[in-house]
């Protein structure tokens, strides 16, 4: 378990009261998602919240997302395609986590640990792909270009940027956990 936890709540759900995740696919049907909101601690720490106008205006980060086309939802689940997307996304998040580590000084060690464990998970999932060389890993030049872009963000939008990265990372990890659990369940039944 990570020592640094991105706390989130599933809005209006039993999970938001108990702190747990809804089993996939959930009562709302295959691939259903619920709106996420950041916990009150996150709002206090960053002084921005989910409905902030600034968040909507500045969300041009192109953060990795798991979509229906990635084959990770119950309907149309495609193991290899999904694992490639998850591994590639986790490798891509490395640059964003590095930015948070350098910017969010009070949580430096926690973010460093999160980044390390994310990279390990990306590597493990990459090894599960039929052709691991098909996993897209950003090259050094791409990472440096993105890192430079992130470092150029003005101080007043830094908190929003960190909030957006952590929010999307949390969402990405939720979908990763659901896909991996689905794989575990289907493999155990077919074995």
Q: Quote the tokens at residue 27.
A: 């009562």
Length, in residues, of the chain: 191
Residue 3 lies in a domain: no
Residue 130 lies in a domain: yes
Residue 78: is its pLDDT beyond 70?
yes
Residue 168 lies in a domain: yes
Q: How far is it, in rounded angstroms, from Cα 80 to Cα 126?
A: 10
Residue 46 lies in a domain: yes
Q: Quote the tokens at residue 191.
A: 């074995």
Q: How far is it, in rounded angstroms, from Cα 10 to Cα 35?
A: 7
Residue 111 lies in a domain: yes
Highest mean pLDDT, choosing among 28-42, 79-93, 173-187:
79-93
Q: Which one has a higher pLDDT value, 189 or 172?
A: 172
Print the domain residue range for 136: 8-190
Q: How far is it, in rounded angstroms, from Cα 36 to Cα 131?
A: 34
Number of domains in the chain: 1
Question: How high is the pLDDT of residue 186?
Answer: 84
Q: What is the CATH number of the domain that holds 73?
A: 1.20.1250.10
Q: Buried b / exposed e across 181-191, counting CB within 10 Å, b at 16+?
A: ebeeeeeeeee
Q: Which one has a higher pLDDT value, 6 or 123?
A: 123
Highest mean pLDDT, choosing among 107-111, 120-124, 151-155, 187-191:
120-124
Residue 168: is its pLDDT beyond 90?
yes
Residue 2 lies in a domain: no
Percent of the chain at pLDDT > 70 equals 66
Question: How high is the pLDDT of residue 52?
Answer: 57
């Amino acid at each position: 378990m990570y020592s640094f936890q991105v706390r989130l709540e599933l809005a209006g759900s039993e999970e938001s009261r108990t702190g747990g995740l809804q089993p996939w696919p959930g009562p709302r049907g295959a691939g259903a998602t619920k709106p996420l909101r950041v916990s009150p601690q996150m709002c206090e720490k960053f002084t921005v919240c989910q409905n902030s106008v600034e968040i909507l205006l500045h969300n041009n980060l192109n953060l990795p997302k798991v979509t229906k086309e990635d084959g990770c939802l119950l309907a149309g689940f495609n193991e290899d395609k999904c694992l490639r997307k998850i591994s590639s996304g986790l490798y891509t998040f490395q640059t964003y986590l590095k930015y948070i580590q350098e910017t969010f000084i009070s949580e430096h060690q926690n973010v460093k640990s999160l980044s390390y464990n994310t990279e390990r998970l990306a590597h493990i999932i990459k090894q599960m792909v039929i052709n691991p060389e098909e996993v897209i890993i950003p090259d050094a030049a791409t990472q440096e270009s993105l890192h430079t872009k992130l470092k150029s963000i003005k101080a007043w939008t830094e908190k929003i940027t960190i909030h957006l990265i952590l929010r999307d990372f949390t969402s990405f990890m939720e979908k990763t956990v659901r896909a991996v659990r689905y794989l575990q369940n289907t493999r155990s039944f077919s074995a």
